[in-house]
């Protein structure tokens, strides 16, 4: 085991898969000589050359189309979005091409494509750089969506995403790159469609993902001191949602809180509630509590930005309210 930062875990995953498979390559803005905005591709261009770590123009729609075309021909592109918000410029390519071509070609083409990069609310990045696009992409058929939350799962999930024959949108949170954790030295892969049971409990199920996992775990320290016993699930897979693991937890707890950084309207929590109502409504002893960000553009002002997000004290209050 070696303790590394999350950006290093992602770099190691990319390096290891590029070393194994010459069809894997990286493209995006400043991924080459600069090493990526958050240093996920640092020094890779020196090892693999400019054609396998390809600096692109500032033209998301163009290089996304190029990556999808490369995937059709048998390559395995990894597209780094300098900020995931910018990928809205490539929405047509991602939805109409990446998500649909395997189906509309009658299975003649595979699309082994990874689209990864930083997203989420940072520290005063402004509205256009603070978007959470998971809900935008959730409705697109043919995509897999993953949100890493620790160096360990970031590395294992990215390696699996690179080997997958389907397009994977891989969300990294901009404030988690400097998170440090022990990571195995040996090769390992994690499933793209499974959640992680972070903590077993008996009183209430708290479902979360990405940076909010850490807010939840901060809240859990206080809750456990107060005698509560919450069960914590990190979704990881946002599409497909591992609804069976949530149902298995509800058999024990009969209560559900969902904590997300996504917006409340049409967010990931909204989809989970719909699926729980469809499949596990009879297990619920109380209405589901949804803790989501405010439905407004994220303010630049630091205090206003903070007010749009969910914080540990709100999670603690919700558990107290639900159980009492």
Exactly one of 12, 17, 29, 60 is catalytic; name it: 60
Residue 214 among the catalytic residues: no
What are 14's two structure tokens?
């990319």
Residue 60 among the catalytic residues: yes
CA distance 28 to 60: 8
Q: Are 21 and 159 in contact (CB under 8 A)?
A: no
CA distance 32 to 308: 35
What are 40's two structure tokens?
């996920």
CA distance 315 to 271: 20
Exactly one of 17, 29, 80, 129 is catalytic; name it: 129
CA distance 29 to 51: 14
Residues in CB range of 121: below 8 A, 6 or more apart: 130, 132, 174, 261, 293, 298, 305, 308, 309
- Please enumerate, as own/partner, the contacts of 276-281 that have beta carbons within 8 Å and a separation of 24 or more: 276/243, 276/246, 276/247, 276/250, 279/243, 279/247, 280/246, 280/247, 280/250
Residues with a catalytic annotation lie at 60, 129
């Amino acid at each position: 085991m070696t303790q590394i930062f999350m950006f290093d875990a992602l770099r190691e995953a990319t390096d290891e898969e590029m070393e194994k498979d010459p069809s894997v390559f990286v493209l995006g803005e400043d991924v080459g000589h600069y090493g990526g905005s958050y240093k996920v591709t640092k020094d890779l261009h020196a090892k693999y050359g400019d054609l396998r770590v390809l600096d692109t123009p500032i033209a998301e729609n163009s290089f996304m189309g190029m990556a999808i075309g490369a995937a059709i021909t048998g390559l395995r592109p990894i597209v780094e979005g300098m900020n995931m918000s910018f990928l809205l410029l490539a929405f047509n390519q991602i939805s109409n091409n990446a998500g649909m071509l395997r189906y509309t070609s009658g299975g003649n083409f595979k699309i082994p494509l990874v689209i990864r990069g930083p997203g989420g609310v940072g520290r005063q990045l402004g509205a256009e750089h603070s978007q959470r696009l998971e809900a935008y992409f959730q409705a697109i058929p043919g995509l897999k969506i993953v949100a890493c939350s620790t160096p360990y799962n970031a590395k294992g999930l990215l390696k699996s995403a690179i080997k997958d024959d389907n397009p994977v949108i891989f969300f990294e949170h901009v404030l988690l790159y400097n998170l440090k954790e022990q990571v195995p030295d040996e090769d390992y892969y994690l499933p793209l469609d499974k959640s992680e049971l972070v903590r077993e409990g008996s009183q209430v199920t708290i479902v979360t993902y990405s940076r909010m996992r850490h807010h939840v775990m901060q809240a859990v320290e206080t809750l456990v001191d107060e005698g509560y016993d919450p069960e914590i699930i990190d979704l990881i897979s946002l599409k497909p949602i591992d609804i069976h693991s949530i149902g298995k937890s509800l058999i024990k707890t009969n209560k559900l809180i969902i904590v997300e950084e996504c917006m409340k309207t049409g967010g990931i929590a909204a989809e989970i509630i719909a699926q729980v109502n469809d499949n596990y409504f009879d297990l619920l002893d109380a209405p589901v509590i949804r803790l989501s960000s405010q439905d407004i553009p994220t303010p630049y002002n630091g205090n206003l930005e903070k007010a749009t997000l969910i914080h540990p004290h709100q999670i603690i209050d919700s558990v107290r309210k639900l159980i009492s």
